[in-house]
């Protein structure tokens, strides 16, 4: 006989993606519980910058998800905007040289065709948009759809607004399966939670949760350092970064590639980030990484040379081999849904992901095609699955 | 062991206005536009305390006055602008003749 | 010159000086790197040369100071170390120069001794951000180094062995010390903590201070605490309340409050280097070695215990480092007297810690509108809201959700209070930059793989 259900959905992970899944699922009238071994926003969410970017994505499923997410973030901001420090400040991508500018211009043309607002900006206008920008750059593109939130606040407020019960400090030790393989909830170190649906929003640790359900999801960590300066008046107005960032996100190189986004925050400090390194879960300080961030930031805003960095921190961005997240039901474990592997874009893509998961949970037609995000897409014929 | 390459060579930008030490070992600095007597080498905080000044910064949110708290460079409450350079710790920075010491408001960088 | 092994000692207080001398006397090329312009650290802080005053006297200090010259220790003053890194071969010590701290310098060494001391903490109470409220150690530092007081009418308050010498020093310098307010109950001490009797000399030292205070007619209130500081733009008075039931609160007029609730080890450099901490202190073995090969630690950074303990630990660390750098296993018999002093003093200060723990529950019960994080002006109520409605269940999430601890001091001041408000034990924050570093200095960092100069 079936156990009495605790709730309709268990979301594993109290980070940004888990919070968005909980919120949209609760709005779809589902009874949701969120469980996390740590505190709210204790993982990658707490170590992120809060970039809601469309500017760094080329045409394709990730951009489509980013555009959906940007619309949803703007909706959410109606109620929660100030609390989560939402700022629709727009992005500004800088090309230092004519060659970089022509590459950027081509890239932006492709984005426009995919629905992105991308306005070319000449050198003079750049200076009026960003008065402290280094003089002499070739040009840039402005992306009004780029925005920013404070990620930990966003996750915490969204969780609270969802009304979901949140169990922090509770570790999932197993995924409960019926004899026919159907997922029935999770086992935790503080008892079982019975539910017909489990959402894997465990971020960098999403592969471990998948393994508990005996399915394979090759999520790997990618380390990112962020530099935080002393509090400043608003000298950096947009999210500003150099054009080589675009090529970097999809890079397969394991070596350090720095692509600093420089931005002011509502609280005062300028954030500079992030590096992207594949070094496993090594949190130790990398001076070459922070040096690269500092150089990149000063290269855009020379006044920063005399500004002090108060701290730096590393987070682990979860990525899958094709750099697309896993979103949707797992046919290998009916009742299991994945919402992880967003790499450095999880804050921005959280809202769209949450909405798509809620649609999948309630059997509604999804706002976009989930095929590119299928969680089982890495299973090869050799049957590597765990 | 010798110092490895200095990270950055930077000219001394300190403004030296009126400034020489007098034979009795004192000198004049200005605080918030008015002259104060100080001893070169004593900390800015000590010079201000000796002149009866205990607050020289206002916080960036509530605009509250602050001065020395920890006295040893750890708490950053005594931040002060010296010769146009903001966010100097008054408890660490020594006075030089002619120093222009200013009340620091908020981030110390709002005025430029 | 032959290739002598190089030891970088970070911190020129008692532990660093003792370690530097012990190692240099045994043939090690020692560089002492310190933020101050003069050696001594906080304990042996010397008067500013601007005062033209004679240096402080004392047998131990004389021995340390002359030893620096005799053993040709390279002493780099005004070097503010912000990071120590280890690579395959050796260590890189990164420092900022001078009071301005806007230029960087990096030194190589084969081993490091971290003697970075500690800092005082103050648990918040209403009015503690008013000018005129200073730390007890800060009052002492300004008095020792600069011979200045922020006012004339002083209350010394809090708990711990620092309060007596601070109050005595202030009174001797001409301040009117209106009261010494100690939350602990010294009467119960020897009975409850026989370990304190392992150092009767220390107890006598405390009694001596108390006698001098009485001679200055300083009122001593034990089992009392300051519950509020009053004033608009400057301290004007404090309210002192008894901790035992039945007593009455009193208001004391004063323009200065010197307050401290204890010390915390400075562990930033060690933590970033990868050294394991136990509680809030760097873990060391009997030779004062951390668990990072080539890194020793001594003094307050390995646990709060005062200058005499720091000297013993520094001495042992210096001798151990010298032997190990020359490829020998040191013989602990050589430092047996220091080891005996170390174990007695550690027991003594463990007992002092137990007696002088701040009154339990006070930090967690400050009023909602009291600022807890001085830098970011975060109130106790904001932290409580983050805990009760946003799920801040540890100090890190409380910080992320309120900004408490994100400002200039990076939580050094508010850490204990935020931990108390979130109901978590105090853990040392992770601070990869031990001091704020200009981005220009970071951008110009040397390549870590560059050959040693």
Domains recognised in chain C with CATH numbers: 6-119+264-351 (3.50.50.60), 124-260 (3.50.50.60), 363-421 (1.10.10.1100)
Measured between CA atoms, how close is C100 to chain A, in angstroms? 11
Instruction: Yes or no: say if A265 and C417 are a contact pair by the CB < 8 Å rule.
Output: no
Answer for the pair C410, A230: CB distance below 8 angstroms, yes or no.
no
Paired with A271 in beta bridges are: A228, A263
All residues at 6 or more sequence positions from B83 whose CB lies less than 8 Å from its CB, including other chains: B13, B14, B15, B99, B100
Q: How far B86 CA sits from the closest chain A CA (Å)?
A: 10
> Closest by alpha carbon to C232, among C148, C153, C378, C132?
C132
8 Å CB contact of B107 and A308? no
CB contacts < 8 A (A, C) = 121
Q: Which band of pLDDT confidence, cut at 50, 70 and 90, is reported for residue A119?
A: very high
Query: What is the C-alpha to C-alpha distance for residues A309 and A143, in angstroms, rounded to an integer?
Result: 27
Rounded Cα distance between C134 and C150, Å, is 9
Count, residues in chain C: 453
Query: For A263-296, how does the pLDDT look when each residue is reduced to its tens digit (9 = 90+)?
Result: 999 889 999 988 888 888 888 899 999 999 999 9
- B91 or C428: which leads in pLDDT: B91
Q: Which chains touch C (3 or more CB pairs under 8 A)?
A: A, B
Instruction: Determine the 3-state secondary structure of B105 from DSSP.
Output: strand
Q: What is the ipTM of this complex?
A: 0.93
**Tokens describing residue A84:** 């989560």
From C245's Cα to the closest Cα of chain B, the distance in A is 32
Helix (H, G, I), strand (E, B) or coil at B42: coil
- What fold does the segment set B27-105 form as a domain? Ubiquitin-like (UB roll) (3.10.20)
Secondary structure letter of residue C42 according to DSSP: T
Token pair listed for C287: 């030779």
Pick from C376, C391, C430: CB nearest A166: C391
Give me the sheet containing A9-12, strands edge to edge: A165-167, A32-35, A9-12, A197-200, A336-340, A326-329
Does residue C37 sit in helix, strand or coil? coil
CB burial string C22-61: b at 16+ within 10 A, e below: bbbbbebbbbbbbbbbbbbbbbbbbbbebbeeeeeeeeeb
C235 backbone dihedrals φ, ψ, rounded to 5°? -65, 135
Chains that touch B (3 or more CB pairs under 8 A): A, C
Q: Strand, coil or helix: what is A263?
A: strand
- Which of C284, C309, C307, C308 lies closest to C297 in space, CA to CA? C284
* Dihedral sign (CA A291, B72, C275, C95): positive
CA distance B38 to B26: 6
- Residues of chain A neighbouring B109 (CB-CB closer than 8 A): 232-233, 235
Contact A39, C396 (CB under 8 A): yes
Separation CA A145–CA A119 (nearest Å): 11
**Nearest Cα to Cα of residue C218 among C175, C184, C251:** C175
Residue C367 Cα, gap to closest chain A Cα (Å): 23
**Paired tokens of A81:** 């905007």
Structure confidence at residue A183 as a pLDDT band (50, 70, 90)? very high
> Does A282 contact chain C (CB < 8 Å)?
no
Q: CB-CB: which of B9, B10, B54 is closest to C150?
A: B54
Provide the 8-state DSSP code for C428.
Answer: -
With 0-12 / 13-18 / 19 or more C-beta atoms within 10 angstroms meaning exposed / middle / buried, residue A237 is middle
3-state SS assignment for residue A335: coil
Nearest to C104 among B7, B43, B65 (CB): B7
Which stretches of C3-110 are assigned E, i.e. beta strand? Answer: 6-10, 29-33, 74-76, 79-86, 91-97, 104-109
- Measured in angstroms, the CA of B102 and the nearest CA of chain C are apart by 16
Exposed, middle or buried by CB within 10 Å (0-12, 13-18, 19+), for A205?
Answer: buried
Asked if the model's pLDDT at residue A15 lies above 50, the reply is yes
- The span from the CA of A363 to the CA of B4, in Å, is 65
Question: What six digits make up the tokens of C430?
Answer: 């992770």
Alpha-carbon span A276 to C372, nearest angstrom? 35
Domains of chain A: 9-47+152-219+322-378 (3.50.50.60), 91-144+220-319 (3.30.9.10)
CB atoms within 10 A of CB C162: 23
What is the structure's pLDDT at B5? 38
CB-nearest to A46 from C396, C410, C431 is C396
Question: What's the pLDDT score for residue A253?
Answer: 42
Give domain limits for chain B.
Answer: 27-105
Chain A interface includes C409 (CB < 8 A): no
The C-alpha atoms of residue B90 and residue B49 are separated, in whole angstroms, by 11
Contact A30, A216 (CB under 8 A): no
pLDDT digits (tens, 9 = 90+) for C87-103: 887 999 999 999 889 99
* For residue A1, pLDDT beyond 50: no
The DSSP code for B104 is E
* Paired residues of A177 in beta bridges: A183
DSSP alpha helices (H): ranges in C216-267? none
A236/chain B closest Cα distance in angstroms: 13
* C-alpha separations of A196 from A11, A45, A90, A184, C123 in Å: 11, 27, 41, 5, 49
Tell me how far apart the alpha carbons of residues C83 and A80 are, in angstroms, rounded to a whole number: 39
pLDDT value for B19: 57
- Compute and round to an integer the Cα radius of gyration of chain A: 21
Q: Which residues pair with B29 in a beta bridge?
A: B36
Hey, are the CB atoms on B107 and A232 less than 8 Å from each other? yes
How many contiguous H segments (helices) and E segments (strands) does chain B have? 1, 8
pTM equals 0.92
Instruction: Decide: residue C3, CB within 10 A, 0-12 exposed, 13-18 middle, 19+ buried.
Output: exposed
Please list every residue in chain C whose beta carbon sits closer than 8 Å to the beta carbon of residue A295: 443
Contact A166 C401 (CB under 8 A): no
Name the neighbours of A, counting chains with at least 3 Cβ pairs within 8 A. Answer: B, C
Angle in degrees, CA B70, C378, A90, rounded to 5: 120
Cβ contact A46:A38 at 8 Å? no
The answer to whether C389 touches A160, Cβ cutoff 8 Å, is yes
What residues of C are in contact with residue B103 (Cβ under 8 Å)?
A: none
**A300 near C CB under 8 A:** no
The size of chain B, in residues, is: 112
Question: CA A241, CA A344: separation in Å to the nearest integer?
Answer: 15
- Please list the ranges in chain C whose pLDDT falls under 70: 1-2, 54-57, 188-193, 448-453
B10 pLDDT higher than 50: no
Are the C-beta atoms of A44 and A203 separated by less than 8 Å? yes
d(Cα C262, Cα C136) in Å, to the nearest integer? 10
Q: What is the C-alpha to C-alpha distance for residues A375 and A329, in angstroms, rounded to an integer?
A: 8
Task: Give the distance, in angstroms, between the CA of residue C269 and the centroid of all CA atoms in the same chain.
Answer: 14
Look up tokens 């979103």; give the residue.
Answer: A327
Please report which helix (H) or strand (E) contains residue C133, including its range.
Answer: strand C133-135
Q: How far, in Å, CA of A321 to CA of A324, rounded? A: 8
What is the spatial distance between Cα C116 and Cα C270, in angstroms, rounded to a whole number?
9
Of the candidates B64, B73, B39, the one whose C-alpha atom is nearest the C-alpha of residue C132 is B64
What is the longest distance spanned by two Cα atoms in chain C?
73
* Element of type H or E holding A340: strand A336-340
- A42-46, A369-373, B106-110: lowest mean pLDDT where? B106-110
pLDDT the model gives residue C190: 65
Chain B interface includes C431 (CB < 8 A):
no
Contacts of B47 (CB under 8 A, 6+ apart): B29, B36, B38, B39, B95
Q: What is the C-alpha to C-alpha distance for residues C345 and B1, in angstroms, rounded to an integer? A: 34
A274 prior amide bond cis, ω within 30: yes
């Amino acid at each position: 006989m079936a156990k009495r259900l605790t709730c309709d959905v268990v979301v594993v992970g109290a980070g940004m993606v888990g919070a968005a899944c909980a919120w949209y699922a609760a709005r779809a009238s589902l009874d949701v519980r969120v469980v996390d071994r740590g505190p709210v926003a204790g993982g990658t969410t707490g170590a992120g910058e809060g970039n809601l970017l469309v500017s760094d994505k080329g045409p394709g499923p990730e951009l489509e998800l980013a555009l959906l997410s940007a619309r949803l973030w703007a909706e959410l901001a109606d109620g929660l905007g100030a609390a989560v420090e939402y700022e629709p400040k727009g992005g500004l991508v800088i090309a230092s040289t004519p060659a970089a500018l022509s590459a950027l211009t081509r890239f932006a043309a492709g984005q426009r065709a995919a629905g992105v607002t991308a306005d070319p900006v000449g050198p003079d206008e750049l200076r009026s948009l960003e008065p402290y920008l280094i003089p002499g750059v070739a040009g840039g593109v402005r992306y009004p759809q780029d925005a920013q939130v404070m990620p930990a606040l966003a996750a915490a407020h969204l969780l609270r607004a969802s009304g979901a019960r949140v169990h922090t400090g509770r570790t999932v030790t197993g995924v409960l399966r019926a004899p026919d393989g159907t997922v029935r909830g999770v086992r935790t170190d503080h008892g079982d939670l019975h539910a017909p649906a489990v959402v894997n929003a465990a971020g960098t640790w999403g592969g471990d949760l998948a393994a508990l359900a005996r399915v394979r999801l090759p999520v790997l960590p990618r380390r990112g350092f962020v530099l935080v300066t002393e509090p400043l008046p608003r000298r950096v107005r947009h999210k500003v970064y150099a054009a080589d960032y675009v090529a970097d996100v999809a890079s397969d190189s394991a070596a350090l590639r720095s692509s600093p986004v420089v931005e002011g925050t509502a609280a005062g400090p300028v954030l500079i980030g992030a590096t992207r390194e594949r070094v496993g879960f090594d949190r130790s300080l990398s001076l070459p990484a922070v040096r690269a961030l500092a150089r990149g930031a000063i290269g855009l805003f020379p006044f920063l040379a005399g500004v002090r960095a108060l701290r730096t921190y590393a987070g682990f961005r979860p990525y899958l081999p094709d750099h697309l997240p896993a979103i949707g039901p797992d046919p290998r474990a009916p009742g299991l849904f994945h919402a992880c592997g967003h790499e450095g874009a999880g804050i921005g893509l959280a809202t769209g992901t949450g909405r798509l998961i809620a649609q999948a949970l309630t059997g509604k037609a999804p706002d976009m095609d989930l095929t590119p995000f299928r969680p089982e897409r890495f299973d090869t014929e050799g049957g590597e699955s765990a | 062991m010798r110092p490895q390459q200095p990270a950055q060579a930077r000219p001394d930008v300190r403004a030296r206005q009126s400034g020489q030490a007098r034979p009795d070992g004192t000198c004049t600095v200005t605080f918030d536009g008015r002259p104060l007597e100080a001893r070169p080498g004593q900390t800015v905080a000590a010079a201000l305390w000796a002149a009866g000044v205990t607050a020289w910064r206002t916080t960036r949110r509530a605009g509250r006055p602050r001065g020395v708290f920890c006295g040893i460079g750890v708490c950053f409450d005594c931040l002060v602008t010296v010769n146009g350079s903001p966010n100097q710790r008054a408890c660490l920075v020594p006075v030089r003749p002619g120093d222009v010491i200013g009340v620091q408001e908020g981030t110390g960088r709002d005025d430029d | 010159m032959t290739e002598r092994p190089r030891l970088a000692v970070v911190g020129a207080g008692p532990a660093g000086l003792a370690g530097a001398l012990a190692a240099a006397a045994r043939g090690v090329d020692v560089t002492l790197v310190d933020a101050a312009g003069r050696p001594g650290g906080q304990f042996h802080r010397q008067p500013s040369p601007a005062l033209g005053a004679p240096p402080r006297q004392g047998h131990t200090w004389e021995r340390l100071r002359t030893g620096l010259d005799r053993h040709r220790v390279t002493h780099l003053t005004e070097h503010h170390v912000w990071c120590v890194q280890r690579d395959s071969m050796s260590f890189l010590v990164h420092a900022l120069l001078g009071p301005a701290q806007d230029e960087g310098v990096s030194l190589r060494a084969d081993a490091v001794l971290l003697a970075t001391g500690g800092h005082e903490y103050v648990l918040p109470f209403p009015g503690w951000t008013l000018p005129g409220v200073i730390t007890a150690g800060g009052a002492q530092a300004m008095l020792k180094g600069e011979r200045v007081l922020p006012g004339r009418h002083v209350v010394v308050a809090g708990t711990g062995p620092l309060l007596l010498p601070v109050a005595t020093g202030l009174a001797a310098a001409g301040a009117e010390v209106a009261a010494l307010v100690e939350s602990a109950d010294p009467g119960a001490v020897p009975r409850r903590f026989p370990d304190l009797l392992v150092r009767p000399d220390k107890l006598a030292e405390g009694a001596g201070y108390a006698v001098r205070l009485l001679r200055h007619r300083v009122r001593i209130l034990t089992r009392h605490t300051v519950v509020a500081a009053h004033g608009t733009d400057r301290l004007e008075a404090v309210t002192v309340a008894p901790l035992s039931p039945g007593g009455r609160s009193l208001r004391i007029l004063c323009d200065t409050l010197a307050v401290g609730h204890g010390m915390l080890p400075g562990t930033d450099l060690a933590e970033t280097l990868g050294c394991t901490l136990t509680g809030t202190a760097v873990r060391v073995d009997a030779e004062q070695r951390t668990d990072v090969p080539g890194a020793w630690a001594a003094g307050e950074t390995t646990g709060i215990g005062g200058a005499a303990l720091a000297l013993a630990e520094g001495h042992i660390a210096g001798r151990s480092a010298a032997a190990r750098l020359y490829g020998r296993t040191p013989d602990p018999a050589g430092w047996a007297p220091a080891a005996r002093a170390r174990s007695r003093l550690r027991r003594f200060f463990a007992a002092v810690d137990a007696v002088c723990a701040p009154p339990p529950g006070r930090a967690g019960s400050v009023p909602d509108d009291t600022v807890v994080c001085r830098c970011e002006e975060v109130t106790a109520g904001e932290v409580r809201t983050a805990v009760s409605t946003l799920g801040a269940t540890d100090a890190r999430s409380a910080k992320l959700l309120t900004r408490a601890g994100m400002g200039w001091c990076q939580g050094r001041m508010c850490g204990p209070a935020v931990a108390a408000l979130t109901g978590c034990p105090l853990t040392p924050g992770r601070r990869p930059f031990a001091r704020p570093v200009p981005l220009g200095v970071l951008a110009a960092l040397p390549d870590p793989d560059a050959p040693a100069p």
